[in-house]
Amino acid sequence: MFAQSVFRTRCAGWLSAIGILLLLSGCAEETKPSTLERIQAEGTLRVITRNSPATYFEDRNGETGFEYELVKRFAEDLGLKLEIQTADSLDDLFSSLKKPDGPVLAAAGLVSTPGRSQSALFSDEYLQVTPQVIYRNGQRRPTGPEDLIGKRILVLKGSSHAEQLAALKLQYPELNYEESAAVEVVDLLRMVDEGQIDITLVDSNELAMNQVYFPNVRVGFDIGEAQKLAWAVAPGEDHSLLDEVNAFLKRAKDNGSLQRLKDRYYGHVDVLGYVGAYTFAQHLQQRLPRYEKFFRDAAQAHKIDWRLLAAIGYQESLWQPGATSKTGVRGLMMLTLRTAQAMGVSNRLDPKQSIVGGAKYIVYMKEQLPESIQEPDRTWFALAAYNVGSGHLEDARKLTKAEGLNPDKWLDVQKILPRLAQKQWFSKTRYGYARGGEPVHFVRNIRRYYDILTWVTQPQLEGTQFAEGNQHVPGIDKRPQPPQTTPL
Ligand code: GLU
């Protein structure tokens, strides 16, 4: 039906101008709609991806992941409904692109390799990654391909890394490795972490996403040049969808939305750094279980998300109850004496009391904020106030407004806050000088820790302890989410 209607619209006007014969030969090709026309007629963009933390998974707010968010924007731009399918394996992903009723686009953290040129057409790049050789801490660090000989190596079946290893084997025939279609990148990293295999190869973005869960995982060396992640469509002459994808990616690069997504999903790497990521993983296993119940109880009593509270605790003291600073703040939540007294904390070094005090204080800070500030910004403002004080925050909001920006948006106020440390600005404010850059870092760090804690503590683990060895990796389970305490 669609083909006929295209035929009619395209060809109706020509009927009088050219002969029937010419028309038949000229329009015969036009009758087959392009992929783009077909999906526009269907109104749905069918996308295939991998269910993994770097691509697509479910968190407290539902579907998420870097690829998901990017492809969602693409579908919105085209005015299409998005339909996501997850592939069982990379081979399955590529073969499904060729099926007539299959997905039209693969957005799955794929490297556009030469070996894949028969299986798909790749878009322009949206992320640069480096393939990395991963080994277990405590083992001898591999520093070059020859160190891989004799090792138990496992990679994803059909992956860019399998392709790399196949090429390497031509050079080093003694090199042996296995491929598995039954695992995901998170499994490979876990297997290295637990010593089930010696080596795996993953892309730097996948490691960045997962390092915090695997304290024993280390990078041996970068294997080869940086590579391009790209989306893929079915191979062939039809470039209609691909052109649309490339135009979209260009817009996303130009208007900064691609960079914002990168910051959101990979920004914690800047905050934690590589070393920080595995330190965090260690603390997650060794320290958090001791205080998790206190966080959960206090958060429940004060109707906030326990992971937010735990993230504040990590930022404040790295979950150390005896922490003290020169400025007189103490304890796991680093409360001042005044705040502790106001919140009914008699012993700041008692972790339970400190956590309850912190929970009360953050709620109190939220209550002080003007009604006009909505969630999730409300939470970020409350954190900033926790760090720099409500007076200074109010000053920064006034300066923000004077600049023509929105004083109720954290994104705007955080740009202005550092000015509180400059005389030309703070001299105009009510509360004067403040280290205005600090709350910006404070909020940014806590948001990262909070994100990580959310990924780690998927719903099926609610009520369990990390201490019981339930270290979880995200992206695997897709059960429905529990109701959220904080609308973030
Ligand atoms: N980027 C890989 C590929 O294109 C898959 C993910 C990984 O193994 O890191 O095959």
**Which atom from ligand 1 is nearest to the alpha carbon of 159?**
10
Q: Is 184 a catalytic residue?
A: no
Atom of ligand 1 nearest to the CA of 202: 9
Give, for ligand 1, the residue of 56, 93, 111, 164 to mutate: max count of ligand atoms closer than 8 Å to Cβ: 111
- Supply the mean pLDDT for the chain: 85
Q: Which protein residue's CA is at the shortest distance from atom 1 of ligand 1?
A: 110
pTM of the complete model: 0.67
* Ligand 1 pocket member 109 (CB < 6 A): yes
- Can you give the chain as a three-state secondary structure string? CHHHHHHHHHHHCCCCCCCHHHHHHHHCHHHCCCHHHHHHHHCEEEEEECEECCCEEEECCEEECHHHHHHHHHHHHHCCEEEEEECCCHHHHHHHHCCCCCCCEEEEEEECCHHHCCCCEECCCCEEECEEEEEEECECCCCCHHHHCCCCEEEECCCHHHHHHHHHHHHCCCCCCEEECCCCHHHHHHHHHCCCCCEEEEEHHHHHHHHHHCCCEEEEEECCCCEEEEEEECCCCCCHHHHHHHHHHHHHHHCCHHHHHHHHHHHHHHHHHHHHHHHHHHHHHHCHHHHHHHHHHHHHHCCCCHHHHHHHHHHHHCCCCCCECCCCCECCCCECHHHHHHCCCCCCCCHHHHHHHHHHHHHHHHHHCCCCCCCCHHHHHHHHHHHHCHHHHHHHHHHHHHCCCCCCCHHHHHHHHHHHHCHHHHCCCCCCCCCCHHHHHHHHHHHHHHHHHHHHCCHHHCCCCHHHCCCCCCCCCCCCCCCCCCCC
The CA 49 to ligand 1 mean position distance, Å, reads 12
Per-residue pLDDT tens digits for 62-101: 788 899 999 999 999 999 999 999 999 999 999 999 998 9
From the candidates 67, 179, 316, 394, which is the catalytic residue? 316
Distance 363 CA to ligand 1 centre (A): 43
- Does ligand 1 come within 6 angstroms of the Cβ of 111? yes
User: Which atom of ligand 1 is nearest the CA belonging to 201?
Assistant: 8
Give pLDDT, residue 21: 42
pLDDT value at residue 60? 53
pLDDT for residue 269: 66
Banded model confidence at residue 453, pLDDT cuts 50, 70, 90? confident
Averaged pLDDT, 259-274: 75
pLDDT in tens, 165-191: 999 999 999 999 999 999 989 889 989
